[in-house]
Amino acid sequence: MDEEAARPGGQIVFFLRRQEMFGPLVFDQAVEDFRDAPNLRELAYQAADEDPARRGRATSVFRRSAIIVAHALNRANGECEFRGCDAPFEKPDETLYLEVHHIGRLADGGPDHPMNVAAVCPNCHRELHFGTETGRKNAELREAIRIKERNGFLDD
């Protein structure tokens, strides 16, 4: 019953899950395929699960330097280093919220280095990972960070 389950009335429900072995876009493609369904609301209620099952997953994380994160956040001074957006909110400790993005992904062999990180707002962070032309945009961001670092990040 993991892949499919019979429901009362002979209805069969397929459970979708992200399949890493087929690439990370399988689940996202399924979402896009469903978005045009004329009866999407009805399908969503039929697929509702009041008690979704948990499944385990082994993950690994990269060791990152808190000093480099702090440096990127100070360099940004509350402003997204990609588009210049203001930090979207203040955290309970009264610091401004930005996320530190690795321009060259650690998973792809990128270094944890001040020249490879940028403090960005959450929307820009998602765009840098999932938007169009991510290669070009990350290259532009890399050049902006290079200039800031070369100038001691005095030119904002």
Query: Distance between CA 36 and CA 50 in Å, rounded?
Result: 25
Residue 83 is classified by DSSP as T
> pLDDT value at position 138?
97
Query: Distance between CA 46 and CA 49 in Å, rounded?
Result: 9
> pLDDT value at position 113?
95
Give me the phi and psi of 11, to 5 degrees please.
-75, 140
Query: Distance between CA 140 and CA 144 in Å, rounded?
Result: 6
Give me the phi and psi of 68, to 5 degrees please.
-70, -40
pTM above 0.75, yes or no: no
Query: Each residue's pLDDT tens digit in the chain (156 positions)?
Result: 333 344 444 444 444 444 444 444 676 777 778 888 888 888 888 888 877 887 777 777 888 888 999 999 999 999 999 999 999 999 999 999 999 999 999 989 999 999 999 999 999 999 999 999 999 999 999 999 999 999 886 544
> pLDDT value at position 30?
76
